[in-house]
Structure 1
């Protein structure tokens, strides 16, 4: 297999999210396999990632940001062009909408094969209508600059085909996958009187910690404790909500945690409520440690969670069912164990890192050889 020079481009690495974790894991493995990797991003928070200590170069382009801003976007275009010309990568792998749009245009104009990984389309169900229309138009207009599009769920591939974003030959699904972790010899998950519920998510749109808090506020007659891992602009509002509900003693805000795994190992139920999703890595992390899942049935979530199998799916607006499912898992330790076992089996069968990585590197190689054929 040829050694490649690869740029991984993502709008921001100053927050912990699925797309960011994906970029870090891919970059580390690519480097270990002898490829030359550079991560390019808008805002970067080194303390959240292990790229620097592994000597993976990170280039900052501060004008690259999520919001549309013509002057900054224009500046990003020229700065990215200079970076790509200097590095001369064999392939540019882009992640997240803004980096995906500018990066593909720049790469294509320089004759570099461009890959876009759609971690969730910005025109997916649940996104506000105005934003949906704008990003749909933008995605359609940049498909000409795109060699291949990887969707992290079959749901997203089908959505792209239905919305005619790109032809079928450019689209393929590669489910997210994460590394196996050695099991601790003694599991610390005890069947306490008080089951621990955990949600790992940024305190930002589209995550819905607020709905979980409201549901649990109506279940105070049974024992539970909630741990919220993550940070973001909506956190202080939620802390106020907890205080007003008189639930301070039962809910812990843990902020960003680098070792999420150790918290999951000691939990009993994993919940992820969102208005939209791609294929959430946080759910895969919970499956890896054998947790039952309660999640909103959006995006590719149903490709991870089999309703009544390894957890429960709830529709976005079905508050009563959410309460019922929480109640069911909180009071039934046997059901938690049973569903948790199915979670772990599903993870081992479908969502480990190596198959995902091998398929991804194959897409990079194909993109490079397609370009070489065109040049012949």
Structure 2
């Protein structure tokens, strides 16, 4: 590699929220890049208020077009890519769906290698996208997925090779200072001093199967210590409240809404829970582990790669409410087991999912492509 930092063009349809899943990982990746080796630049199809106030950790440009079947989009991208190539750029890393359709063929024509990122189980695949990806994917140099499960889905649907598809798990910052528990959660615990609290961090959506968690709590109703469920996330809770009321456990299910103090909330819980029917790689699961919580989660997507069953938590068959209840029962009734699995989870998260590891592995992929003969 040349002694001067190598330009890398990061492309994404839009960037609005540095705390969102894909956007958050891109933000941390660009911030952590070794500037003596790489010079990042962000290209977005659409501008955002966050970018306008200088919130991103490198310079950015706006394409000004976003319709993937529009000639104007392809022409604007061609012009932008030409300027990038003229500046010495030879590598682009592309995120999100539309960008990964239009970028690879144009970049290849100009001598720019393209990496695509895949971070979910392909719920967005449609006949149209698959047809377009089957064409544009032939010009992709490499793919990066955030779990083996996502890699498998990507290889099944897109024309990328296994040897050029790299699994790099999400990276997370670890803070040594223990956050304070929010007052509303403290009040809940004071009001139920002998209860065990399990929590779900996710927006309320059908794919998250939160009703399963409520029904599992219902199966354990009347046993001691009592198991309470805390749901942290945006969305309308009316239907879930109705289920809890039907089961007679409305006093054991608590909705805290969308929060900015999630780490503090996790400090006030005993068990981390996730019931989703689809997960590429769950940020919430790693956040639970970071907080030293034993985890109970559905054995879907990348969850079995994050949780070692019986060591850092328990896996269960998605939709199997009775099995979920048994996993929760084991942890609720055994404080020593909770402590042991929670400590294992914390150590495991620090070793496997650090921000430094995520950035280093990306840099290795970038270096290998830039150094190709």
Q: Is this a same-fold pair by TM over 0.5? A: yes
Q: CA deviation at 1:53?
A: 3.8
Q: CA deviation at 1:41?
A: 5.6
Contact 1:177 1:284 (C-alpha < 8 Å) held by counterparts: no
Paired residue for 1:91? 91
Paired residue for 1:29? 32
Larger Rg: 2
Aligned residues: 354
Paired residue for 1:201? 202
Q: Distance in 1 between matches of 2:238 and 2:52?
A: 30
Paired residue for 1:156? 150
SS at match of 2:174: coil
Q: Which region of structure 1 is more displaced relative to structure 2, 210-219 or 290-299?
A: 210-219
Contact 2:217 2:228 (C-alpha < 8 Å) held by counterparts: no
Q: Distance in 1 between matches of 2:255 and 2:59?
A: 33
Contact 1:18 1:282 (C-alpha < 8 Å) held by counterparts: no
Paired residue for 2:100? 100
Residue among 282, 288, 297 paired with 1:280: 282
Paired residue for 2:9? 7
Q: CA deviation at 1:358?
A: 0.7
Residue among 215, 233, 237 paired with 1:230: 233
Q: CA RMSD in A?
A: 3.6
| Distance of aligned partners of 1:54 and 1:171 in 2 relative to their CA distance in 1, 3 Å threshold | closer
Output one character per residue of 1:100-130: Cα deviation in whole Å (capped at 9) or x when no partner.
Answer: 22333443344322111211241xxxx59xx
| Distance of aligned partners of 1:244 and 1:78 in 2 relative to their CA distance in 1, 3 Å threshold | farther
Q: Distance in 2 between matches of 1:84 and 1:286?
A: 41
Paired residue for 1:211? 212
Q: Distance in 2 between matches of 1:230 and 1:45?
A: 23
Q: What residue ranges of structure 2 are gaps of 5+ in the alignment?
A: none
Paired residue for 1:292? 294
| Distance of aligned partners of 1:344 and 1:369 in 2 relative to their CA distance in 1, 3 Å threshold | same
Q: What residue ranges of structure 1 are gaps of 5+ in the alignment?
A: none
Output one character per residue of 1:41-85: Cα deviation in whole Å (capped at 9) or x when no partner.
Answer: 657563xx9993465445566864xxxx765x6655444445444
TM-score by length of 2: 0.79
Contact 1:7 1:40 (C-alpha < 8 Å) held by counterparts: no
Paired residue for 1:309? 311
Paired residue for 1:38? 42
Paired residue for 1:357? 359
SS at match of 1:339: helix
Q: Which region of structure 1 is more displaced relative to structure 2, 91-100 or 238-247?
A: 238-247
Contact 2:15 2:44 (C-alpha < 8 Å) held by counterparts: no
Q: Distance in 2 between matches of 1:272 and 1:347?
A: 17
SS at match of 2:159: coil
| Distance of aligned partners of 1:202 and 1:4 in 2 relative to their CA distance in 1, 3 Å threshold | farther
Contact 2:138 2:159 (C-alpha < 8 Å) held by counterparts: no
TM-score by length of 1: 0.79
